[in-house]
Chain A
Amino acid sequence: MSTLTKFSAIPYTGPAPTNREPYVAVDGPAADARGAAIAAALQHPGMSQELGQDMPSFIVGKEHIVDVLRALKESSEFAFTMPLDLFGVDYPKRESRESGVGSRSETGGLRTPTPDTPPPARVGSRSETTDLETPTPDTRHPGRFDVIYQLYSLKNNERIRLKVRVADGESVPTGTGVFKGLDWYEREVFDMYGVIFDDHPNLRRILTHEAFQGHALRKDYDPAQRWLLTENDVARIIPKIDPRFENVDTDYERVTLNLGPSHPATHGTLRIVVTLDGETIIGADQEIGYLHRCFEKMSETHTYQQVIPYTDRLNYCSAIINNVGYCMAVEKLLGITAPARAQHIRLMLCEFMRIADHLVCIGTNLVDMGALTNFWYLFQPREEIYGLIEACCGARLLPSYTRIGGLAVDVPPDFLAKSQRLVDMMPKFINDVEKLVDRNKIFLDRVVGVAPISAEDAINFGFTGPCLRACGVPYDVRKASPYLGYETYDFDVPIAEGGDTYARFLVRMEEMRQSLKILQQAIDRGLPEGPVIVDNPYVALPPKAKVYNEMESLIYHFKLIMHGIQPPVGETYFQVEGGNGELGFYLVSDGTKNPYRVRCRPPCFQIYSAFPEMIMGQTIPDAIAALGSLNIIAGELDH
């Protein structure tokens, strides 16, 4: 009967959420002040600040965006050196509303900028544009699409959001000259929205296939409209030869070799085409999208609660971290926090999942190098972790355990004892594997100095997670912007030097030990008493026993089932440290039960986009070893 105590006996008296009220970011004033400081320091005419957001936010005219990006990157004071994300949002109503009330003639096909009208009230924002400088007409230009850049400053540990508004058919200058990591993101926005990026080196579709027509994330695209691909449509990929090797004359023949998308060494659906000179890789290109399951479009057609199972299937090796990241993003939008007990359980399961993720990565990476024993060996503790998850919620791999506002069910009574057993047995496996390979000459020859990337390049590409820490950059979301109470735990962020395959192996091994350290502290503190889901009938379903016995609970139940969770109108971004790096969710709510836009920032995406650069001049076996160490998860990579 523990479920009965989940809700208080007295009727709910807290504030009722209304979907007409805008979202108020908790850190809004601080972000506004910081944004004003940035704008004052940069003095750039193309930027106008957007207030009330969860991070400093600017609307930038499209012809200024490259300048602004470069200024933010090169500014020694702010140093926004890392491109975290770039994505689009479609607001078709904004455009039509604007064109309806404008002075434009009804027959005119051309849309002209209207300098005198303020930016339209748009879905998902309550902000007024404050003009710090005299804005050029284009900053106020209404357009259908928002192209949103999010940058991160390692120096100041802060984020910034830049929005460029473009109308249908308009183009944006490419930012690939400033940040290498924007290459694939721009292709993705082109693929999904049809926004053209001028001067992009290789602007072709990235996630969908060659025969696809239309742009899938536009609001007027039917979510179930498929386009069939036949073998004749498949385009040939011929990799561009790296200029360093272009004029090098060797005695070998040049061969183009296709790896994947069904290849034993690619662990999933990756496809790499390499040009070889003898054994040396002199050109490489990738094709992704072989597992593009339309996560973002599916999210828009489901309610907030129904999106949770889709998040499981992003990085399926550490599913609970995705659940937690998404749920916390929605909770941030709703302005609620999960109860202490739920947070504690979430933290413990996240750390277990991180260990499981690293176990799979290291195990399969070692298989690629011929060390099959470790694979069999490491899968044993991993199965034990899944046993624990199964005991909590009944599912193994993809548990969908969290709910918005807490957890689906409470953990079993012996949860801590089981966790302690796991924490006790785990070090033996980690140490044994380390002993087996760490001084093994074959292993060291395969990994030391293989596929290195410099810290500067890694930041420029937008690396996060173990791959960034292997370059010596101690960025970890758990330390930089703690959530779930990570700030109260004593743990270190392991870093390694060199950024090669060996460094990535070392970082992952040490991270597992640090996770165990966190887990031991969590077990020692014990589980806080109390419910595992918030006591708020607008977010969480009342217990069944109350639904059958109380009128109010029955109404709440009915309302929540029929109308879903309705967060306030607004947009927010929340990030957690996933198995592979920063996993972020950007949400736009229009006050209805379905999210207007869910953007997932998959950490793999940028890491994999750097892969050709990393393997250039190396050999195929080195490339395979490096690929395993990057831990590219196709579900996350392709959304």
Chain B
Amino acid sequence: MPNQPYDSSGSIIQRKRGGPPGEGAEKGLITLPGESEREIEDLAGGTYLTTTVDTMVNWARGNSLWPLPFGTACCAIEFMSMVSSHYDIARFGAEVVRFSPRQADLMIVAGTIVDKMSPVLKKIYEQMPEPRYVIAMGACATSGGFYRAYHVVQGIDEIIPVDMWVPGCPPTPDGLMYSILKLKEKIQRGEIRR
């Protein structure tokens, strides 16, 4: 897929031209993620959009990520901040926090992973249904952080594949939110298949 810049500010299907929605005004140009501008087709009295199944599915996936918080340490507290009232990730469609890996598609590894935890992390990752995505939140999950120590995994990519790394110790809730939006873009562009 071509790597195109995509404006994530509004709805995924953006009405570029044409009048307000309603009868007789459906003609216009739209842009789907990963595609160039195209015209809405008018067929058999209704308004249709032709695209590939993949594009549609990716669009839907990106808009409803169900995160599994693998929260171990301080970052989990900032994750809680992001989910709760002040920052409110519900505005971006990722508020359905699941604690069962079987019901989630995005694992947010929030906090230090130590050697004792690594088999658990691997097992839980393997329990997630595909496609699954992983965000390594914070310095510890990314690289072990400043714990260059005898019991700390030096970055979770030793154990599982990672899609997004978020810097910070801990990252601010807006930083984590930004990574979720970036991941959404990546999914909708169809870059990640796992």
Contacts and interface: CB of A to CB of B under 8 A. Distances in A.
Contact of A224 (B76, B118, B122, B148): B148
Given A268-B76, A317-B77, A222 B116 contact: no
Interface of A: 207-209, 212, 216, 221-231, 234, 261-264, 268-269, 289-294, 297-298, 309-310, 312-313, 316-317, 360, 364, 375-377, 379-380, 383, 386, 396-398, 634-635
A229 B169 CA distance: 26
A621 to B, nearest CB: 16
A456 to B, nearest CB: 34
Nearest to A231: B119
Contacts of B148: 223-224
B99 A224 contact: no
A291 B111 contact: yes
Interface of B: 70-74, 76-78, 80-81, 84-86, 99, 111-112, 114-120, 122-124, 146-152, 169-170, 172
Contacts of A262: 70, 120, 124
Given A223-B148, A383-B81, A229 B115 contact: yes
B86 A216 contact: no
Contacts of B77: 316-317, 360, 397
B117 A634 contact: no
A432 to B, nearest CB: 14
Contact of B84 (A290, A297, A309, A379): A379
Nearest to B117: A290
Contacts of A376: 84-85
Given A262-B120, A377-B85, A226 B78 contact: no
Q: Which of B78, B81, B114, B116 has the most CB of A within 10 A?
A: B116
Nearest to A314: B74
A230 B119 contact: yes
B53 to A, nearest CB: 34
B119 A380 contact: no
B164 to A, nearest CB: 20
A226 B73 contact: no
A353 to B, nearest CB: 13
Nearest to A298: B149
Contact of B73 (A263, A264, A313, A383): A313
22 contacts: A207-B151, A209-B151, A212-B151, A223-B149, A224-B150, A261-B117, A262-B124, A290-B117, A291-B112, A291-B117, A292-B114, A292-B116, A293-B73, A293-B112, A309-B146, A312-B74, A364-B80, A376-B85, A379-B80, A396-B172, A397-B77, A397-B170
Contacts of B124: 262
A104 to B, nearest CB: 33
A263 B149 CA distance: 26
A7 B186 CA distance: 53
B119 A222 contact: no
A605 B114 CA distance: 18
A313 B99 CA distance: 24
B120 A261 contact: yes
Contacts of A207: 151
Contact of A264 (B78, B99, B119, B147): B99
Nearest to A288: B116
B150 A225 contact: yes
Given A261-B120, A397-B170, 4 more contacts: A229-B115, A293-B114, A294-B152, A379-B81
Given A263-B99, A290-B116, A380-B86, A224 B149 contact: yes
Contacts of A227: 115, 150
Contacts of B99: 263-264
3 nearest A-B pairs in the assembled complex, by CB-CB distance: A294-B149, A264-B99, A316-B74
B9 to A, nearest CB: 25
A112 to B, nearest CB: 34
Contacts of A212: 115, 151
Contacts of B112: 291, 293
B115 A397 contact: no
Contacts of A229: 115-116, 118-119
Most buried by B among A290, A360, A380: A290
Residue from the set A262, A263, A360, A377 with the largest chain B CB neighbour count within 10 Å: A262
A376 B84 CA distance: 6
A262 B172 CA distance: 23
Contact of B72 (A216, A226, A269, A380): A269
B173 to A, nearest CB: 9
A216, A221, A225, A226: residue with the most chain B Cβ atoms closer than 10 Å: A226
A268 B147 CA distance: 18
Contacts of B119: 229-231, 234
Contacts of A317: 77
B149 A293 contact: yes
A298 B144 CA distance: 13
Best-surrounded residue of A229, A380, A397 (most CB of chain B within 10 A): A397
A216 B150 contact: yes
